[in-house]
Amino acid sequence: MLFLRYVNGKPAPYDFAKLRSILLKHGAHIGEPWDARQGEARYFVGFPAHDDGDDISGEESGIYVDSGGVVEFAIGRPIYGERLKQLSFELLQSLEICMHPSFGEEVFTVSLEARHIPEGLLRSCEKGLIVVKEPNDLW
């Protein structure tokens, strides 16, 4: 599952500190940057396993940043339960980003307009752009 920001159909960076704060609030562990190059880095993100099975992710996730901010936050093997729903909604609400599965079926947003999403992405998604008003609009 990908969390990206687009402006006029092009990828646009977003606030790393704000993303980090939200992820930590939801129990994530964010590793030290690796594969760091001039102004670029990757961070592994791990989410805790819960006894009730309502986990956020089935494998490691990652944040990719450049000098402008977050280029992409990706959740590996998302588990579509309440914890992921709450995290996803807070990210969408707080960061002016959109969320879509890597295979593309729909694009979720709270505030981005269709004109900002790349046309190719919208064409590839059967369900198109879904504007969510509350967490239960997600799945």
Is the whole-model pTM more than 0.85?
yes
Q: Are 49 and 81 in contact (CB under 8 A)?
A: no
d(CA 63, CA 91): 13
113, containing H or E segment: none
Q: Which residue has the tokens 């879509």?
A: 100
Pairing assessment for the beta strands 2-4 and 34-37 based on DSSP bridges: unpaired
Per-residue pLDDT of the chain (139 residues; tens, 9 = 90+): 999 999 999 999 999 999 999 999 999 999 999 877 888 999 999 999 999 999 999 998 999 999 999 999 999 999 999 999 999 999 999 999 999 987 768 999 998 888 899 999 988 888 889 999 999 999 8
Residue spans of the domains in the chain: they are: 2-137
Residue type, 96: E
